[in-house]
Amino acid sequence: VAHASNIMASFPFCRLTTMDSDGATNSTTAVVIVNSAVDSPPVANAGPNQTITLPQNSITLNGNQSSDDHQIVHYEWSLGPSSESKEVAMQGIQTPYLHLSAMQEGDYTFQLMVTDSSRQQSTAVVTVIVQPENNRPPVAVAGPDKELIFPVQSTTLDGSRSTDDHGIVSYHWETIRGPSAVQMEDMDKAIASVTGLRVGAYHFRLTVQDQQGLSSTSTLTVAVKKENNSPPRAQAGGRHVLVLPNNSITLDGSRSNDDQGIVSYLWTRDGQSPAAGDVIEGSDHSTALQLTNLVEGIYTFRLKVTDGQGNSDTDTATVEVQPDPRKSGLVELILQVEVGQLTEQQKDTLVRRLAVLLNVLDSDIKVQRIQAHSDLSTMIVFYVQSGKPLKVLNAAEVAQNLHMRLSNEKADFLLFKVLRIDTAGCLLKCSGHGHCDPITKRCVCSQLWMENLIQRYIRDGESNCEWSIFYVAMLAFTLTGLTGGLTWLCICCCKRQKRTKIRKKTKYTILDNMDEQERMELRPKYGIKHRSTEHNSSLMVSESEFDSDQDTIFSREKMERGNPKVSMNGSVQNGASFSYCAKDR
C-alpha cells in the first residue's frame, strides 16, 4: 500500500491485473486524487488599548498573541494614519514587542501587520491615550518696564519668557492706556512691535492661554521721556609719526564717548592729504582705522561719531610719514626675472655676489624689499653699511661702483640679466631751481631755468638746473653780434686789401724849373726819403712809409699848366736839365 501511494503521487492513473490458476486475467484502472493541505491566514493581535498619564511618556505594546495554523514569519508596526504627524520614538517595529517613548499628550494609533509562511497577512490596531498630568495655569511674563528717550517712537514687547507646564497655545497683547493711540503689529504673537509713541506713560497687557484653556495676564509700562541729550565727543587719536619703510598704522577712535552710546563711526581723509595709502577691509566705518602703503607726507584724517539722536562730533588725527633715514643709501637693482621665480636660495646667492663686487661682508648688505617691477622683471631695494660704527654708504657711489665692477664681469654674474642699477630715491638737488623726478631720476627745472649742458654732457654728467634762460639768451645774442661784427670786419679788410693791390703804380713828376714853394708842396707831409745821384739831372724816387688813400699825384697836365717849358712828351725845351719824382702806388 505504501508503494502504491508513492506511485500515485507520481502517476495519478494505476491499472490492476489479476490472474487465476487457469491463467485467465482481468484488469481494472483506479484514479488517485491527492489534495494539498489546508493553510488558513494568520490572525493579528496588537493587544488591548493602553492609557498612560504624563509625566509617564513610554510604553511597550505586545503583539505575541497573534496566531497562525502554521507559522508567523514577519511582524511590522507602524503609526496609524491619524497619528502620523505626532512625535514618538519607536523601537522593535519588526518584532512582536514595540517599545514607545517620548510620547506627548494626545491619542496615538498603532497598526500591527503579521505575515505567515504563505505570505498571507493580517492587521490589527491598538490605541494609546496619553493623558496630561494635573494641569496648572500658565504664567504670563510681559517683561520689565521700559524707559525711552523721545524722539524714539517705537519699541518691541517681548512675552517669550511666559511659561506653562503643558505649553502655551496663544498670546495676545493690548493697550490699556496711554497719552495717544499707537499702532501694534504681531499682537497675537509672543513678540509684538509698537509704533507711534509720544511723550508719556503707556500700559500694555499680555494674556497667555494653555491647551486646557487656562490663562494668565501680565502688564508692562513703557515710559517715554523727553530729555536733553548731550552730543557725543569724538577722539581720533591725535598726532602720530611714522618712519619709512614702516608704512602701516592703526588710528584708534575707541576713546570717543556719548551719554547714550555712539551708533556710527566714519573716517574721512582731508582733501590736502596725499592720495596714496590704502584703507584695510572697510575699517573707515569702524572704531579703528587701519591704513597701509602710506608714502612720505602729512596725512590728516577726520573722525565723525554719531549717537542715537543724530547728534555728531568730529576730531582729527594727523599721521606724519617721515622719509627713510637710509633713503640716501637705498639702491635699486632691477633683474630680468619674474618676482615669483626668484627663490630664497637665489636671493642669498645674489647677496653674496653683490658683497664680492662691493668688497664688503655678506652681512653688510641689507635687502629692504623685493617687489615686482613689471611682469618679467623684479626690483630689489637694498643698502650697504660698512665701518665701525656702521655707516650707510651713499647710494650713488654704490650704484656707480656696481656699474664699473659689472662691466668687467660676466653677464650672468648676478644670476640674471641686470636691466638697471640706480638709486632708489632721486637724490639730485637740482641747484635749488627745480625738483627731481622720482621716476626718471632727472631734474625738472623751474621756469626760466635750464640744465647746464657742459656739466651734464662733458663733466660729471649729473642733471642740474644751473643755467638761467635769460642769461643764456643774452649770452647767445652777444656772441651772435660779436660773430657778425668780426665777420663784417674781415670782409671789409679783404675788400680794402684787394683795392690797394689794384692801385699799386709808379708815377713820375718833372721837378726841374720849379720854384722852392712848389717843391715844398710836392713833399709828403710825413717825410720822404730821397736818394739823388746828381743835382738837377738825376731822377728822384720816393716811397711812402705808410698806406694812405690821400697820396699826392702830380700829372703831366698840371706841370704843363704851371711850366710852359715842358712839352707833351716830357722833354725840356732850351736844353735845361730835368729830373723825375717817382712814387710807387
Structural contact between residues 406 and 419, judged by C-beta atoms closer than 8 angstroms: no
pLDDT band with cut points at 50, 70 and 90 for residue 422: confident
Query: What pLDDT shows up at residue 520?
Result: 60
Judged against a pLDDT cut of 60, whether residue 538 lies above it is answered with no
In CATH, what is the architecture of 50-131?
A: Sandwich (2.60)
> Are the C-beta atoms of 127 and 204 separated by less than 8 Å?
no
Asked if the model's pLDDT at residue 209 lies above 90, the reply is: yes
569 or 250: which leads in pLDDT: 250
* Cβ neighbours around 254 below 10 Å, total: 12
Least confident of 46-60, 248-262, 503-517: 503-517
Check pLDDT > 50 for residue 256: yes
Higher pLDDT: 560 or 351? It is: 351
For residue 427, the surrounding DSSP H or E stretch is none
pLDDT of residue 166: 77
Stretch 296-303: mean pLDDT, rounded?
Answer: 93
Is the distance from CB of 98 to CB of 90 less than 8 angstroms? yes
HSE-up of 75 (CA within 13 Å, CB side)? 25
DSSP string, 503-562: T--EEEEE-TT--HHHHHHHS-TT------SSTTTS-EEE--SS--S------HHHHHHH
Q: Which of 219, 177, 229 is nearest to 200 (CA)?
A: 177
The band of 510, judged by pLDDT with boundaries at 50, 70 and 90, is low
Tell me: pLDDT of 145 over 80: yes
What confidence score (pLDDT) does residue 549 get?
Answer: 42
pLDDT at site 521: 57
What pLDDT, on a 0 to 100 scale, did the predictor assign at position 529? 43
pLDDT at residue number 466: 80
The Cα-based distances of 41 to 76, 93, 116 in angstroms read 16, 21, 7
Q: Per-residue pLDDT averaged across 471-486, rounded?
A: 87
Of 7-21, 336-350, 354-368, where does mean pLDDT reach its minimum?
A: 7-21
Q: What is the pLDDT of residue 8?
A: 42
- The pLDDT of residue 115 is 93
Single-letter amino acid, residue 555: S
Element (H, E) at 28: strand 25-31
**Is residue 581 scored above 60 in pLDDT?**
no
* Per-residue buried b or exposed e for 298-327, using 16+ beta carbons within 10 Å of the residue's own CB: ebbbebbbbbbbeebbebebbbebeebebb
Q: Are 320 and 240 in contact (CB under 8 A)?
A: yes
Give the residue-averaged pLDDT of 530-547: 40
Mean pLDDT across the stretch 175-202?
Answer: 91
How confident is the model at residue 446, as a pLDDT? 84
Q: With 90 as the cut, is the pLDDT of residue 268 above it?
A: yes
* Domain residue extents for the chain: 2-31, 50-131, 146-226, 238-322, 327-425, 434-469, 506-584
Q: Which region among 3-12, 96-105, 142-151, 391-400 has the lowest average model confidence (pLDDT)?
A: 3-12
Nearest CA among 219, 142, 157 for reference residue 187: 157
Indicate the length of the chain as a whole number: 585
Whether residue 30 is predicted with pLDDT greater than 90 in this model: the reply is no
pLDDT-derived band at 315, boundaries 50, 70, 90 = very high
CB 121 within 8 A of CB 113: yes
pLDDT band at 394 (very low <50, low <70, confident <90, very high): confident
The H-or-E segment that residue 585 falls in is: none
* Helix, strand, coil tally for the chain in percent (to 5): 20, 40, 45
- C-alpha 506/C-alpha 235 separation (Å) is 112
Q: What are the pLDDT digits (tens) for 353-387?
A: 999 888 898 888 989 889 898 999 999 999 998 88
The confidence score (pLDDT) of residue 325 equals: 80
Ordered DSSP codes for 345-403: HHHHHHHHHHHHHHTS-GGGEEEEEEEEEETTEEEEEEEEEETTTTEEPPHHHHHHHHH
Give the three-class secondary structure for 35.
coil
C-alpha to C-alpha distances, 327 to 94, 324, 366, 384, nearest whole angstrom: 86, 5, 13, 12
The CATH classification number of 146-226 equals 2.60.40.10
CATH number given to 238-322: 2.60.40.10
Q: Fold identical between 146-226 and 238-322?
A: yes
Q: What's the pLDDT at 149?
A: 79
The three cell numbers of residue 43 are: 490572525
User: pLDDT by residue (tens digit) across 76-104?
Assistant: 999 988 888 888 999 999 999 999 998 98
Judge contact between 428 and 452, C-beta under 8 A.
no
Average pLDDT, the chain: 80
**pLDDT for position 298:** 93
CATH code for the part of the protein at 327-425: 3.30.70.3310
Which pLDDT belongs to residue 551?
43
Contact call for residues 206 and 158 (beta carbons, < 8 A): no
Quick one: three-class SS letters along 188-239? CCCEEEEECCCCEEEEEEEEEEECCCCEEEEEEEEEEEECCCCCCECCCCEE
pLDDT of 537 above 60: no
Question: Does residue 9 have a pLDDT over 60?
Answer: no
**CA angle at 202 for the pair 200 and 205, rounded to the nearest 5°:** 175
Report the predicted TM-score, pTM, of the whole model to 2 decimal places.
Answer: 0.39
Does 6 have pLDDT greater than 50? Answer: no
Enumerate residues 6+ apart whose C-beta is below 8 A from 138: 162, 163, 164, 168, 208, 209, 210, 214, 215, 216
String of DSSP letters for 36-58: PPP-PPPB----S-EEEETT---
What pLDDT was estimated at residue 443? 83
Neighbours of 172 (CB within 10 A): 17
CA distances from 454 to 292, 471, 534 (A): 44, 15, 73
Report the pLDDT value the prediction gives residue 318, as an integer from 0 to 100.
94
Q: What angle do CA 174, 179, 180 make, to 5 degrees?
A: 70
Q: In which band, very low, low, confident or very high, does the pLDDT at 461 lie, cut at 50, 70 and 90?
A: low
Q: Give the confidence band of 528 by pLDDT, cuts at 50, 70, 90.
A: very low
Residue 228 has pLDDT above 60, yes or no: yes
| pLDDT computed for residue 583 by the predictor | 39
pLDDT of residue 523: 57
* Contact (Cβ atoms closer than 8 angstroms) between residue 243 and residue 324: yes
The predicted pLDDT at position 453 comes to 78
Q: What is the pLDDT of residue 140?
A: 93
Supply the pLDDT for residue 576: 36
| Whole-number pLDDT of residue 554 | 42
